[in-house]
């Protein structure tokens, strides 16, 4: 079955040429391109309704307030959450830092354990190093198996005293997918909270925050066709009600009353966790991205991704110099590989000369690369606008690598 969705017309940047050839964009795990619908929604907001929220009784302020409230509902609904469970932030990194400052510093202590893994992006690794440094908790790291999937038996054997298990849903480096249900089951045995880095999942598969049963879910808008500087942290509502999750930014907007010697924060979590002026345009843009994906259908998006990954495997495995790293099945979003005798940066530079954009290096996953003795890898990551023809061009580009380096 042809997996090509024929959506390039929706993305103006894909009309441009790079080095006098058609752009083939395979750096989607770093950031996706934006459809016209997203850019138009943001432009329309700025041209018609730009004003500060909640602080005026005039028409534009009312419209701006309604715009951000509508965006929150669209975004949270897309991810199977209530609007009251969504904190708008700039990206996944800020969301994870929100868990650090809003939860970890108030709930961790000496003798507690935080568990993360060798698969993690640095934003879901360094933040927990800092949490443990400041609270005296111990950081434990789940090792990966030979195929770069998690060693769940290790987790089950080392979960004692865990207060938080923080893991990525989909690895940005090798595309392996977390068994969230199994992790939640393990966490419940010891009463640990579960935080999920969902940055690489939201653009490739249906996600339901309530169905996952986790406590925190972080994501970025710019990896799901939304604007840079947009994203969210989903927090299970019970953690707001009990004040287990506390504000970490303070100022106007999130208060109910302010006196010289005390301040009362707003009862509504949406208000309490919005200090200062929100980025309304980015929220509108992210909501438009959610609507764009919803129109395609996330099951269709998931199938498209599966077919592209399978096709890339088939084509790349036929190249003698290429070794694909990571799992061979149940893989999402990308294919990463080593090219024998050639550094990934050199591979990427030759591919760029052919108009093909890939990512090279350690992809902010040094612990994973060190564990596998990979100096660096080359990653081709996919989006709804990519096609099998694009992958064929990648294969031709790798033939150029062989010509240049004699490999």
Distance CA 372, CA 368 (A): 6
Q: Name the helix (H) or strand (E) containing 18.
A: strand 17-18
Asked if 138 and 164 count as a contact pair (C-beta separation under 8 A), the reply is no
Q: Is 364 a catalytic residue?
A: yes
* Given 83, 364, 376, 402, the catalytic residue: 364
- DSSP letters of 21-66? EE-EE-BTTT-----HHHHHHHHHHHHHT---SSS--SHHHHHHHH
Distance CA 61, CA 54 (A): 7
Supply the residues annotated as catalytic. Answer: 364
């Amino acid at each position: 079955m042809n997996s090509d969705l024929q959506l390039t017309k929706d993305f103006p940047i894909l009309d441009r040429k790079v080095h006098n050839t058609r752009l083939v964009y395979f750096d989607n795990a770093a950031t996706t391109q934006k459809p016209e619908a997203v850019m138009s929604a943001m432009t329309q907001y700025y041209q018609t309704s730009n004003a500060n929220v909640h602080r005026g009784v005039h028409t534009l302020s009312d419209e701006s307030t309604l715009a951000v409230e509508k965006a929150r509902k669209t975004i949270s609904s897309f991810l199977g959450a209530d609007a009251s469970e969504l904190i708008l932030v700039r990206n996944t990194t800020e969301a994870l830092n929100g868990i650090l400052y809003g939860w970890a510093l108030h709930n961790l202590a000496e003798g507690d354990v935080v568990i993360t893994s060798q698969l993690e992006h640095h934003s879901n690794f360094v933040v927990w190093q800092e949490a443990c440094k400041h609270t005296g908790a111990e950081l434990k790291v789940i090792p990966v198996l030979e195929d770069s999937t998690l060693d769940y038996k290790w987790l089950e054997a080392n979960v004692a005293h865990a207060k938080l298990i923080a893991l990525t849903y989909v690895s940005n480096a090798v595309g392996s997918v977390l068994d969230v249900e199994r992790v939640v089951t393990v966490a419940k045995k010891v009463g640990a909270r579960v935080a999920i880095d969902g940055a690489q999942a939201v653009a490739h598969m249906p996600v339901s925050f309530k169905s996952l049963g986790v406590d925190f879910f972080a994501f970025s808008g710019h990896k799901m066709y939304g604007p840079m500087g947009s994203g969210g942290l989903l927090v299970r509502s019970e953690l707001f009600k009990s004040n287990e999750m506390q504000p970490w930014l303070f100022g106007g907007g999130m208060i109910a009353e302010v006196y010289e010697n005390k301040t009362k924060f707003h009862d509504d979590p949406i208000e309490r966790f919005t200090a200062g002026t929100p980025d309304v345009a980015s929220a509108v843009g992210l909501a438009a991205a959610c609507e764009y994906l919803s129109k395609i259908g996330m099951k269709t998006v998931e199938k498209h991704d599966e077919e592209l990954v399978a096709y890339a495997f088939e084509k790349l495995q036929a190249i003698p110099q290429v070794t694909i790293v990571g799992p061979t099945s149940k893989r999402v979003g990308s294919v990463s590989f080593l090219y024998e005798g050639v550094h990934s940066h050199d591979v990427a530079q030759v591919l760029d000369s052919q108009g093909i954009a890939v990512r090279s290096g350690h992809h902010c996953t040094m612990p994973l690369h060190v564990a596998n003795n990979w100096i660096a890898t080359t990653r081709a990551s996919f989006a709804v606008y990519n096609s099998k023809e694009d992958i064929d061009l990648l294969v031709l580009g790798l033939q150029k690598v062989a010509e240049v380096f004699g490999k």
